Structure 1
Amino acid sequence: MKFLNPLRPAVLIKRYKRFLADVQLPNGDVITIHCPNTGAMTGCARPGMKVWISDSGNPKRKYRYTWELAETTEGDMICVNTQRANQIAGELLQQGMLEPFTELTAEQKYGYDNRRIDWQGIDANGNLTFIEVKSVTLAVQQQGYFPDTVSERARQHLASLQTMASEGHRAMVLYVVLHSAIRQVSAAEHIDAKYAEACIMAKQAGVEFNAIQCQISAEEIKPSAMICVK
């Protein structure tokens, strides 16, 4: 996934009200930008961090700029825009990096509760496959965790996937790892024990768990390699 326009560097002053952040541009100007991430953003939003922002090009938009990337003091790159995860997942699925799928479609309604699945396709054996995409940015050294805050919604997604698996379809969670330090992913039992328990139940029901590592730069984000989900 290439950024359509060059990202602008800035320095983070603070994130607040979940969807807003103040940053300082290289010329000294301080502006308020949109933060497209509803999570805790632990380790991703420290004041003083170098960040990169995208320009919508629309001066009439209330917050013209969007926060895309952050860089840790160790030099690790993080994509904080959770909307990018689905775009990256679409690229790797269409390229067959996970496995070959045909008839790939995004945002399809499914299941008893009429939810929307991130991606739906047909695998090489003709199985209808439901793929729920999650972005992972919480890192403790090289260990990645999901979620970074208690998430009832994530547990509901697992329940819906479990239902699809019980009906004979393939169902999977695809963690898109958007922190360059992460080498493996686990359920964050220390943050959301119910989600971790739901993962165990989903695996027992046949739900598959995969994770893709990404190369992150101010020019593009590229899916690079599958990594372990424990």
Structure 2
Amino acid sequence: MRFATPLVRGRLIRRYMRFLADVRLEESGEVVKVHCPNPGAMTGLKTPGLPVWLERNDDPKKKLDWGWRLAELPGGHWAGIDTAVPNRVVAEALAARAIPELLPYERVRPEVRYGTNSRIDFLLEGPEGATWVEVKNVHLRREGDCAEFPDSVTARGAKHLVELAERARQGDQAVMLYLVQRSDCARFRLAGDIDRTYARAFDAARSAGVEMLCYGTRIDAGGVALGRRLPVDPAPQAPGLAIVDESS
């Protein structure tokens, strides 16, 4: 997935009211108000002074002229900020048949209704049956090279796990795909200390046959693309760990 226009570098001043941030543009020094397309806690990604990359918006229907897309991390690494990007990345990967764990498919249908007032991100239909794929954005990292999800309590996320488990029990392939929008992670686990209910739903869904996949991403100032598969912690996730966060 390539960004539609070249990104502009700046320095974060503050992120506030969940969907807003103030950024000082590097070249001009101008302070601009930008849309932050991320409702999560953004632990470690909202520190004042953090180098960030913005995309200019020319749509007159939108209130803000800038959208926050990337953050620069230590060691030459990157993090994607936009939570809408993972679905676009996975859509491109599905079109390219780049996720080998999925059953053979002939048709990809996005946003299909299922469960209780829910829509699955992607329904794949093929000669061996249906595959239900839910995609989650991951950008939390608190310890070593481990990515974690979620970064805040998500009742909606737990509901998706319950509904995927039901599809698995009915004999379909059900997949929860965690896409890590950071280039500094090499493995994945749940943040059970942040949301124990979600962790319990994860364990129950995995026991019911839901396949837990995690992929990294390749990120640069031009765009975000599917990376390599990352291992998912095989241990039960519900107990959680009391991890002290020193990054925010």
Q: Do Structure 1 and Structure 2 share a fold, with TM-score over 0.5?
A: yes
Q: Which moved more, 1:52-61 or 1:77-86?
A: 52-61
Is 2:105 the partner of 1:101?
yes
- Which among 178, 189, 203 is matched to residue 181 of structure 2? 178
The equivalent of 2:236 in structure 1 is none
1:21 partner letter: A
- Tell me if the contact between 1:35 and 1:66 (Cα under 8 Å) persists in the aligned partners: yes
The equivalent of 2:34 in structure 1 is 33
Look up the SS of the partner of 1:228 in the other structure. coil
Deviation at 1:44, TM superposition (A): 1.1
Which aligned pairs between 1:85-124 and structure 2 lie closer than 5 A?
85-99=86-100, 100-111=104-115, 113-123=116-126
Q: Which moved more, 1:88-97 or 1:195-204?
A: 88-97
Query: Take 1:63 and 1:121, find their aligned partners in 2: how far apart are those partners?
Result: 36
Deviation at 1:153, TM superposition (A): 0.9
Q: How many residues get paired?
A: 228
Query: Take 2:230 and 2:74, find their aligned partners in 1: how far apart are those partners?
Result: 24
Name stretches of at least 5 consecutive residues in structure 2 with no aligned partner: 234-248
Query: Any idea what the Cα deviations from partners look like across 1:1-20, whole Å, max 9, x if unmatched?
Result: 11111011111000000000
The equivalent of 1:69 in structure 2 is 70
1:93 partner letter: L
Q: Compute the TM-score of the two structures, normalised by the length of structure 2.
A: 0.88
Deviation at 1:60, TM superposition (A): 5.1
The equivalent of 2:140 in structure 1 is 138
Is 2:228 the partner of 1:225?
yes
2:135 partner letter: V
C-alpha root-mean-square deviation of aligned residues, in Å? 1.3
Name stretches of at least 5 consecutive residues in structure 1 with no aligned partner: none
The equivalent of 1:80 in structure 2 is 81
Query: Take 1:107 and 1:49, find their aligned partners in 2: how far apart are those partners?
Result: 35
The equivalent of 1:19 in structure 2 is 19
- Which among 151, 160, 170 is matched to residue 148 of structure 1? 151
